[in-house]
Amino acid sequence: MKKHLFSFVLILFCVNSVFLFTQCNPKVEKASILPLEDFFKNPEKSSYQISPDGQYFSYMAPYEGRMNIFVQKVGENVEEVLRLTSETERDIAGYFWANNNRILFLKDTGGDENYQLYGVNIDGSNLLPLTAFAGVRTQIIDDLPDIESEVIIGLNKRNPQVFDPYRLNVETGEMTMLAENPGNIQGWMTDHDGKLRIAVALDGVNQSLLYRDTEDQPFTTVITTSFKETLNPHTFTSDNQKLYATSNINRDKDALVIYDPKTAKEEELLYENDKYDISGIFYSRKDKKLQAVSYTAQAGIQRHFFDENLKAIFDKINAKVSNRPFGISDMNKNEDIFIVRTYNDKTPGSYYVYDVAKDNLTHIADLYPWIDENNMASMECVQYKTRDGLDIEAYLTLPKGYTLKTAKKLPVVINPHGGPWARDTWGFNPEVQFLANRGYAVLQMNYRGSTGFGKHFWEISFKEWGKTMQDDITDGVNWLIEKGIADPEKVAIYGGSYGGYATLAGLTFTPDLYACGVDYVGVSNLFTFLQTIPPYWKPMLDMMHEMVGDPVADKELLESASPVFHVNQIVAPLFIAQGANDPRVNKDESDQMVEALKKRGVEVQYLVKDNEGHGFHNEENRFEFYGAMEKFLAEHLQKAE
């Protein structure tokens, strides 16, 4: 939860999701069927962080079925652990160290995503609500690691549509407004001294970078571009004068550049990948220098190093974890003690502490110690061509025991990701592993519009909901059938959020392709969806009209792409799940679909949870949802051989 970055690649809705089933070739040895709870219960320990002085660990772990915050002294054989929070209604949404003595955390109510900020000392004292305002959402703009008593936050308290920046005292809750949002600012950024120096504005479909030398000066516009062009500031250079930014201006891929806000010029191209967008940077606050950049390739996170010392550290860790993929999830202020997390496609991984000076790596926890990698399935990187010649990167997970050569006529779950302007990545996915454990092959595809593949690949998805975006998904199904992997009579589609929309679109516009579908908090009516967005999305509405469609100018397009208007084409059974408090996809989206289908006499199973929002977070609700989905898929896909 460090300094926030700004980019107008709008992610409308993402949510995790799942499926299940059992069906195996008799010549293939089945994997043992594992309890559903093994995949979807809360991790034993997660979200490890370290105090700025390196003296304490913090982590999240279950307490009465909810993820709460714990602290523990660093050291071997330390048994004393203190629980700092006692949330029983809903998991803590996230947390971070404000200073050596105090932790700040966020929580919402029933999935409404109006996050409130709280603070607590590491001995459990001075638990205070810092932004406990009803109906108000808190953003973290800067955790100010060099200013122990303060953070900078954003609140939409004055105007629900926009966020004003405040300097907040983490001990007392006292707040000072730093600027009043004129109504178009979508992001704020500070320099290395914690001074608010950058703002990003959105006016209709044009975005602007605003800058000031000092906090007592007004912001002035540096550059204005279409929202399709990215100039995303990550952090200031060490002298607080220029910006490290990712930009696709005059290029297709986001590249790392040095940008001078005083001259409005890109000064230097530091790194560019010819296939993928740059997604993150490593900057040392201690040494005040850029160290590395990262990007997401098909096989996972890749890095390019500028700093040989950091590269040497990564090489040493890599050797100690036997070349297993890993990332640095946190470090102390001196940057000599790292929290390392390993992972792969068969396990969510383990946490370690790495002492740079001692070159010592110590295991501290496994996220899911009950998961045996040997029982999990491999996620294969595959690629197929669309009908109009695009290359689609995808992931195919086959039930354990099968290979791309031996898999023949398997039941398949097609699992398009949410967003839609997001992407699937290689790694452990409990839903996918659950489905594979039940005997399903699972195909996840980065259809057009998925992020990380450049500007053109993103833009060709605009106003293509249910059209070429859906064709990309359909072409993936046909590719599996042509390869002989999928049994054409046993293909289901399941997705959450935009993936839920894609499920409804798949059953509507290609009704003969799927045996059944599961829609998890998905859009059914593009008109009502655009009318019920959260208030803080309203400034982006013109942009959404250009990306999704304008309800007036594109009325016929939106009607043709809204599944609710075409329910007469649906013949396959459908299961819909919805959170009653969803702020992104209003419950009415699911209600409309269920009502229309019932009028036609089409089988539809409907699960609504009154204490959930955009996706089910409470453990017992996950168990109920995935259990119901398992039965639904088994009923409609599993047939006697």
Which three-class secondary structure state does DSSP give residue 559?
helix
Q: Rounded to an integer, what distance in angstroms lies between the CA atom of residue 341 and that of residue 361?
A: 11
Instruction: Write the DSSP string, 397-466.
Output: EPPTT--TTT--SEEEEE---SBSSS---SS--HHHHHHHHTT-EEEEE--TT-TTS-HHHHHTTTT-TT
The arrangement of strands across the sheet holding 138-142 comes to: 138-142, 150-155, 164-169, 175-177
Q: Rounded to an integer, what distance in angstroms lies between the CA atom of residue 257 and that of residue 231?
A: 10
Q: Are 203 and 222 in contact (CB under 8 A)?
A: no
Which amino acid type is present at position 521? V
Q: Which position among 450, 461, 582, 590 bears the catalytic label? A: 582
481-508 burial code (b ≥16 CB/10 A, e <16): beeebbbeebbbbbbbbbbbbbbbbbbb
Q: Which position among 58, 208, 350, 497 bears the catalytic label? A: 497
Q: Which position among 192, 234, 566, 614 bears the catalytic label? A: 614
Please state whether 6 falls in left (phi above 0), alpha (psi between -120 and 50) or beta: beta
Q: Write the secondary structure of 609-629 as one string of H (helix), E (strand) and C (coil).
A: ECCCECECCCHHHHHHHHHHH
590 included as an active-site residue? no
Q: 281-288, long-range: CB within 8 Å, 24+ apart, which pairs?
A: 281/234, 281/235, 281/244, 281/256, 282/307, 282/310, 283/234, 283/235, 283/244, 284/310, 284/335, 285/145, 285/146, 285/192, 285/333, 285/335, 286/333, 286/334, 286/335, 287/335, 288/192, 288/238
Instruction: Write the DSSP string, 47-72.
Output: EEEE-TTSSEEEEEEEETTEEEEEEE
497 included as an active-site residue? yes
617 included as an active-site residue? no
* Strand pairing category for 574-579 and 516-520: parallel
Active site residues: 497, 582, 614
